[in-house]
């Protein structure tokens, strides 16, 4: 998401400490307390926040953590969370690749990957949010039988992610290349609204964490 830097964004994030946790707070007692609930959901790459705000409003008993590396996008998202007065949504301005490594195991009921950057070039594959290293981390931080919900307009990212999830022994419970948006446990994102207006089809899958681990994958299957 290329957003023009907004000077108010960093001060805004710092001023709203009950919604926006600093990385060290997320990894300390404050974060542990928030994660200590039966249903905690993680969205990686919140963008401007329509998804997490709608989900947080519709599901007040559940808790939501949003990670976003763009300060400006997260500040726009944080404004919506604050204005909606959502105590069950917290945000962290961080790169998920680094933050996830430090988060506790078995913390999340599900992870949402909404319209993640596709990084189409092979040399950038490691930056995809469904690259091996990320799938290993998701496996670790998800609770048993935890879910990954993935939506994207990008056909190549979708098939790459599908194949990689299978390699990591996730079970795919739903998969469509023409998602109609009708699911009680979902909400449209900014990108999704724009794609739908343009008539672009949305791919979606739901993957469930299996019992194997990356270490149990035969060596021959470890490279695509
Ligand atoms: C294409 S935008 C989609 C935004 C939003 N999910 C939507 O659907 O409208 C991808 C977002 O993910 C964020 N992002 C990409 N990689 C990330 C990472 N490793 N950690 C945190 N945020 C990331 C980007 O900054 C960007 O805001």
Condensed to tens digits (0 to 9), the pLDDT of residues 163-175 reads 999 999 999 999 9
Query: Quick one: which atom of ligand 1 is closest to the CA of 116?
Result: 10
Q: Cα dist. 33→13, 38, 209 in Å?
A: 20, 12, 25
> In sequence order, what are the residues at sequence separation of 6 or more whose Cβ sits closer than 8 angstroms to the Cβ of residue 201?
153, 177, 178, 179
Q: What's the mean pLDDT in 133-160?
A: 97
* Fold entry, domain 9-221: Rossmann fold (3.40.50)
Q: How far is CA 155 from CA 51, 90, 120, in A?
A: 21, 31, 10
**How many percent of the chain have pLDDT more than 90?**
92
Residue 223: pLDDT above 60? no
pLDDT at 121: 98
117 catalytic, yes or no? yes
| pLDDT-above-70 percentage for the chain | 94
Q: What is the mean pLDDT of residues 197-211?
A: 96
- 211 pLDDT band, cuts 50/70/90, is confident
The region of weakest confidence among 5-19, 116-130, 143-157, 201-215 is: 201-215
Residues in the ligand 1 pocket, defined by CB under 6 Å: 1, 44-45, 47, 67-70, 73, 95-97, 114-117, 189-192
Q: What is the pLDDT of residue 224?
A: 46
Q: Which atom of ligand 1 is nearest to the CA of 43?
A: 6
- Which pLDDT tens digit goes with each residue over 68-99? 999 999 999 999 999 999 999 999 999 999 99
Q: pLDDT at position 36, please?
A: 98
**Where along the chain do its domains lie?**
9-221
- The 8 Å CB, 24+ separation contacts for 17-21 are 18/87, 19/78, 19/81, 19/82, 19/86, 19/89, 19/90, 19/91, 20/74, 20/78, 20/90, 20/91, 20/92, 20/93, 21/90, 21/91, 21/92
């Amino acid at each position: 998401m290329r957003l023009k830097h907004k000077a108010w964004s960093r001060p805004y994030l710092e001023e709203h400490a009950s919604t926006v946790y600093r990385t060290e707070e997320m990894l300390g007692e404050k974060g542990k307390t928030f994660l200590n609930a039966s249903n905690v959901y993680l969205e990686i790459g919140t963008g401007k926040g329509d998804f997490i705000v709608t989900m947080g409003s519709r599901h007040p008993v559940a808790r939501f953590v949003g990670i976003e590396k763009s300060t400006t996008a997260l500040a726009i998202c944080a404004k919506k969370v604050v204005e909606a007065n959502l105590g069950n949504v917290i945000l962290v301005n961080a790169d998920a690749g680094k933050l996830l490594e430090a988060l506790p195991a078995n913390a999340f009921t599900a992870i949402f990957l909404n319209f993640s950057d596709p990084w189409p070039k092979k040399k950038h594959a490691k930056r995809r949010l469904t690259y091996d290293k990320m799938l290993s981390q998701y496996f670790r931080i998800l609770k048993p039988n935890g879910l990954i919900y993935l939506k994207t307009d990008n056909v190549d990212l979708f098939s790459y992610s599908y194949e990689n999830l299978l390699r990591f022994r996730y079970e795919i419970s739903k998969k469509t290349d023409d998602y109609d948006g009708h699911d009680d446990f979902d909400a449209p994102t900014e990108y999704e609204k724009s794609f739908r207006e343009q008539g672009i089809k949305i791919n979606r899958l739901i993957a469930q964490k299996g019992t194997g681990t990356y270490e149990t994958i035969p060596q021959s299957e470890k490279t695509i």
